[in-house]
Amino acid sequence: MIPIPEILNKPSFSKEEIVALLNASGAERQLLFERALEVKLCEVGNKVYFRGLIEFSNVCSKDCYYCGIRKSNELVKRYTLSDNEVLTAARFAFENKYGSIVLQSGENSSSAFTSRIERLIKEIKKLSNDQLGITLSLGEQDEEVYQRWFNAGAHRYLLRIETSDRELYARLHPADHRFDFRLGCLETLKKIGYQAGTGVMIGLPFQTVESLADDLLFMKKFDVDMVGMGPYIEHAGTPLYEYRGELWDIQERFMMTLKMVAILRIMMKNINIAATTALQAIDPLGREKAVKVGANIIMPNITPGKYRNDYALYENKPCVDEEPDQCNGCLDARLSLTDSEIGYGEWGDSKHFRERK
């Protein structure tokens, strides 16, 4: 087998080489992390950009087997923010110089939802003098819907493929959730002109290291602009909970996620990579650790505190007892531990996107 230092010196990685990097431990893993940080600082600099996350609604028409807010989970208290609550959160992000927001929710394809989002995008643009960047994470939609939201002023879209392995995808979703449709959505988003983001969960039941290597190769081939990857965390109200005894240990899922981030940074030098909230659910400094190995985006939660408990995609979600203004100082202080600067008031668009254009 090729030694890790030799792999790290290669201009691109084969699947076997990625598997070797994902299996690295001890000093070899440290070498990977150091190289990833070097690449990050050289290619995108030491700034971290904030995206204020607004969890708009936990009403969802889908039934993904891993997700706590799936429609069949009857224990969830369903909510949808009022216009005023969304605009107040957006104003908070603007006034605190977050630069951008992310509007995320369960999936809803009604025309009333489409129109409401379209109107809110325009209002958010207006209240921030066109200055707040808007990322959407509202699931699979028709091209016409994506186009309307783009025309209204959204310019980035996050749609995780969850896994690039079709067979695994089929085991994680009901039969009417189609891998090809999701892939088609990502293609449409790119065609329309969005900065397209995707990602996967790490440590899913039945997932292998080989499959994770394929995920990284998928992102490279698809030439995405942004990636958000996080550890899979089981939720008692989901069908996959029955496999909880067969999962990788939670710390292993955490470490595997850091390695995925680091390898991706080396493979796709100038994209935006998020340090995801699920990392923080496992380790209070999880996001900061991801920033140290290649991530450059953080999504502070700015959902009004009273709803946060109800947006439980997985268990132990952090910061559920806080209000938005409590996150501010806490992030500032902790990010300084990583020697990062915060790109206050900047969009921090993916450099990859600008160069792709």
Binding region for ligand SAH (CB under 6 A): 66-67, 104, 106-107, 137, 139, 159-160, 162, 201, 230, 232-233, 235, 278, 313-314
- What single string gives the DSSP state of each residue in 122-179? HHHHHHTTT-SEEEEE-----HHHHHHHHHHT--EEE---B-S-HHHHHHHS-TTS-H
- Which of the ranges 15-23, 62-70, 121-129, 270-278 carries the binding residues for ligand SF4, by CB under 6 A? 62-70
* Residue 205 touches which member of ligand SAH, ligand SF4, none, C-beta under 5-8 Å by kind: none
CB distance 270 to 246 below 8 Å: no
Nearer to ligand SF4, 35 or 235 (CB): 235
228 is an interface residue for ligand SF4 by CB under 6 A:
no
- Segment 86-115, which members bind ligand SF4 (CB under 6 A)? 106-107
Q: Angle CA(132)–CA(134)–CA(135) in degrees, nearest 5?
A: 150
Q: Give the integer Cα–Cα distance in Å for 179 and 185.
A: 10
Q: Give the integer Cα–Cα distance in Å for 99 and 342.
A: 10
Chain-centroid distance, C-alpha 287: 12
Q: In the complex, what is the shortest distance from the CB of residue 144 to ligand SAH, in angstroms, rounded to a whole number?
A: 19
70 is an interface residue for ligand SF4 by CB under 6 A:
yes
CB distance 202 to 357 below 8 Å: no
The residues facing 341 across adjacent strands are: 47
Helix axes 250-267, 209-222, angle to 10 degrees: 30
136 is an interface residue for ligand SF4 by CB under 6 A:
no
67 is an interface residue for ligand SF4 by CB under 6 A:
yes
Q: Which of 22, 69, 268, 327 binds ligand SF4 (CB under 6 A)?
A: 69
- Which of the ranges 66-74, 78-86, 197-205, 247-255 carries the binding residues for ligand SF4, by CB under 6 A? 66-74
Q: In the complex, what is the shortest distance from the CB of residue 73 to ligand SF4, in angstroms, rounded to a whole number?
A: 9
Q: Give the integer Cα–Cα distance in Å for 339 and 27.
A: 22
64 is an interface residue for ligand SF4 by CB under 6 A:
yes
Nearer to ligand SF4, 39 or 189 (CB): 189
Q: Give the integer Cα–Cα distance in Å for 67 and 234.
A: 8
Q: In the complex, what is the shortest distance from the CB of residue 254 to ligand SAH, in angstroms, rounded to a whole number?
A: 12
Q: In the complex, what is the shortest distance from the CB of residue 85 to ligand SF4, in angstroms, rounded to a whole number?
A: 19
Q: Give the integer Cα–Cα distance in Å for 303 and 93.
A: 11
* Residue 70 touches which member of ligand SAH, ligand SF4, none, C-beta under 5-8 Å by kind: ligand SF4
Q: Give the integer Cα–Cα distance in Å for 320 and 263.
A: 31
The binding site for ligand SF4 (CB under 6 A) comprises: 60, 62, 64, 67, 69-70, 106-107, 139
